[in-house]
Amino acid sequence: MTATQEPDLPAPPDRPSGRRRRAGPRDPRRVRVGLAVTAVVCVAFLVVELSAYLGLDPAQSRIPIRADHPLHYPLLWAHIVCGSVALMTACLQMWPWLRRHHPRVHRFSGRVYLLGGVLPGGIAVLGVAPVSSTGFASSVGNTFLAVLWLGTSIAGWRAARQRRYADHRVWMIRSIALTFSIIVNRFWVVLYVVVLSLVDPTDPALIANAATASVWTSWIVTLLVAEWWLLRRRDPRRARTLAPGRAGAPGAT
């Protein structure tokens, strides 16, 4: 080394920028806004619907109670309370940030969703559906909903136990779609009442017919939307347009 040459010195350490580095990727804004809106809708729905059942008074029920079936109100009450648990924990299950950064909380809320929400709530529906106040068609529709709700949730739980997490996610998307069909049901009831009123506003069975139609439409349409979304995510053409690891890419959480 000559006198004009300087020795190689280690590079100076990077200066702190004064900002804390994020622990991980942030959810897209559309996801955060969508989850916030969903949570607000769930809370508003529960405030309106659940308040009628907190006093354990059958006279306050928003659904006509069959006096000839003593278990009708207790089973209906159990379904509504457990369904409320399922709705709120479903919001936590859909939160990607919570799943990435707090997997234990995700697993715990998943157990509450299944054991405190879907299982008792679905079994209660199987007891309530046969005595539906809106007729046989509503009974069949609610029975199908209960069976699918229980089946998809149990399938999702089994997939998680077997560490088949991709299958677990698919089944739980279906389960949560069925969970939210109870909220969507209110939209369809109003729509059918308006449409049937235009056809024959004097029909004495108008409300019953609207309720029956909404029972089927709510869970069928919601489940079809979930299936469309899942198929769209599996589309190889769409997968090639998404960068690996980007939020929303197939397999990303």
Domain ranges of the chain: 69-237
Q: How many residues does the chain have?
A: 253
pLDDT above 90 coverage of the chain, percent: 47
User: Can you give the pLDDT at residue 109?
Assistant: 92
E strand or H helix that includes residue 221: helix 206-234
- Contact predicate 149/124, CB 8 Å: no
Q: Quick one: what percent of the chain has pLDDT higher than 70? A: 82
**What's the whole-model pTM score?**
0.78
- Within 26-95, residue ranges assigned H as helices are 29-50, 72-93
| pLDDT at residue 252, rounded to an integer | 38
The 8-class DSSP code of residue 21 comes to P
Mean pLDDT for 42-52 is: 85
Whether residue 238 is predicted with pLDDT greater than 70 in this model: the reply is: no
pLDDT of residue 21: 44
User: Lowest-pLDDT range, 103-112, 131-140, 149-158, 178-187?
Assistant: 131-140
Residue 157: predicted pLDDT: 95
Please determine, for residue 2, whether its predicted confidence score (pLDDT) is greater than 60.
no
**Residue 3 confidence (pLDDT):** 46
The confidence band for 60, taking pLDDT boundaries of 50, 70 and 90, is: confident
* CB-count exposure of residue 41 (10 Å: 0-12, 13-18, 19+): middle
